[in-house]
Chains A and B, each alone.
Chain A
Amino acid sequence: MNCKEISRIASQAMDRPLTLRERVSVWLHLGICDPCRNFVSQLRLLRAVLKQQSHHAENDEKVVLSHSAREAIRETLHQH
């Protein structure tokens, strides 16, 4: 398999278990291909950073509903 095919399977590996055949193909390819190894590391890094920073962002108390949005929601809730 070439880099294009490997990159597609490496992306799917983030979302589903690979077949044995696919795992062997990716493993063999990564053994000889630095760019694809970097690609896989980057995908894992993106996921790790997104998970961590999203968790921070959910708890960042500086980010709040705007006054107008809050009042609009309050108004809507009162009507129900």
Chain B
Amino acid sequence: MDTLRVLIVDDEDDFRETIVKRLNARKIQSEGAASGVKALEVLKDKDFDVIVLDVKMPDMDGIETLRHIKKLKPETEVIMLTGHASVEFGLKGMQLGAFDYVMKPAPLNELLDTIGQAYNKKRGLIH
């Protein structure tokens, strides 16, 4: 069975790095990207199963990044992370093909849960 690969896209370094560490500690292979542009660069070389994408970022926001991701790697599942908590953004993300949205700050369990569901969906699609 392949290992679950997760990319965390968030401009908050402390948040992103800690999440990456915690996921890795749970045997989830994860990396971080500090912006939408960096995330797209990483995606060119690597594949990920699930991408956790912050909605509000400088330069390229989450919605814009989501569009590019869905063009580049349509099979990758995306979970929107809304620090803004506006359900609008979450819903808009889902219209654009995101799997779900999670309100920030979310307990790690909740995020893991959603990541698991997204991964299951992707596998179901492949197999």
Chains A and B bind each other: no
> Interface of A with B (CB < 8 Å)?
none
**Which residues of B are interface residues toward A (Cβ below 8 A)?**
none
